[in-house]
Amino acid sequence: MDAVVAALEEQLGEKRAALAALTEALEAARARLATDEALIASADKQRNDLHVEIRTMNGQIEHSRDKLNRSRTERETNAAQRELEELRKLMRDREDEITRIETETAPTRTQIGETQAEVERLAAELAAQEGEITEKVKQLEADKTDAGGGREAISKKLPVVLYRRYEMIRGRRGTAVAQTSDGTCKACNMALPPQLFHKLRREPLIDQCPSCQRIIYFVSPEPQKVD
């Protein structure tokens, strides 16, 4: 009965862990999404600023062209041409910068799409599992109560000394009962004194393993498989 409760508790723990892992994965995906979106927002702002600068430069280039057209001396022409070339170079730099930003952020933009899909998938899975797991947890809790519920009635039928010994060993070792089929204790794997093993095998009786102190009894070995 105590083993059943322990097994149910383990199952409960696994279900809760599964739910926690799913929740954690969803939070991680959302965090990644937020980071990537912030990165893209900052890149977009940079790109917009560059576009604004390019528009300003277009105006300046117009202005320089006018100057070039109106220039009357070679010196004025040269100066206007230099200015024009300088402005065109500055504009090209900004266009290159925009291309660079777009190239560099392309993988992140793709990643955002993928992460969004992942977030949706995890959220849907979590919603589905949550209902299922909550139901299962409730069932396991109920089973646990049932399994533990008859315990008191049974424990009252046991000799007080035996029950106290059982509880003491269980408290110390986790489980209080061991079996033997071949002369070794199945709980601690230590060999039993031959005399004790013979006694356990001969008579329906219980004793204690001298190594781990668990309450021990004999069970017939599994029948050998014949090929």
**Whole-number minimum distance, CB 212 to Zn ion, in Å?**
3
Q: At what angle are helices 2-70 and 74-149 packed, to 10 degrees?
A: 170
The strand pairing partners of 178, in sequence order, are 216
- Give least dist CB 189 to Zn ion, A: 8
Closest CB to Zn ion among residues 147, 188: 188
Backbone angles phi, psi at 216, to 5 degrees: -120, 145
Q: Residue 188, interface with Zn ion (CB under 5 A)?
A: yes
Contact 28, 115 (CB under 8 A): no
Joined together, the tokens standing for residue 119 give: 């977030």
Query: Is there binding between residue 196 and Zn ion (CB under 5 A)?
Result: no
Radius of gyration of the chain (CA): 40
Q: Which stretch binds Zn ion (CB under 5 A): 27-35, 90-98, 155-163, 188-196?
A: 188-196
- Nearest approach in angstroms of CB 220 to Zn ion is 19
Phi and psi (nearest 5°) for 77? -60, -45
Q: How far is the CB of 197 from Zn ion (least distance, A)?
A: 12
For residue 20, the SS3 value is helix
For Zn ion, which stretch binds (CB under 5 A), given 58-66, 71-79, 106-114, 211-219?
211-219
Rounded to a whole number of angstroms, the minimum distance from the CB of residue 167 to Zn ion is 18
Asked if residue 16 lies in contact with residue 22, where contact means CB atoms within 8 angstroms, the answer is no
Binding pattern for the stretch 129-168 against Zn ion, x by CB under 5 A and - elsewhere: ----------------------------------------
Query: Is residue 184 near Zn ion by the rule CB under 5 A?
Result: no
Q: Counting contacts by CB under 5 A, is residue 176 touching Zn ion? A: no
Among 12, 29, 212, 215, binds Zn ion (CB under 5 A): 212
Shortest Å, Cβ 149 to Zn ion: 30
Binds Zn ion by CB under 5 A, chosen from 122, 209, 215, 218: 209
197: left (phi over 0), alpha (psi -120 to 50) or beta: alpha
Pairing of strands 177-180, 215-218: parallel
C-alpha 91/C-alpha 99 separation (Å) is 13
Q: Residue numbers of the site for Zn ion (CB under 5 A)?
A: 185, 187-188, 209, 211-212
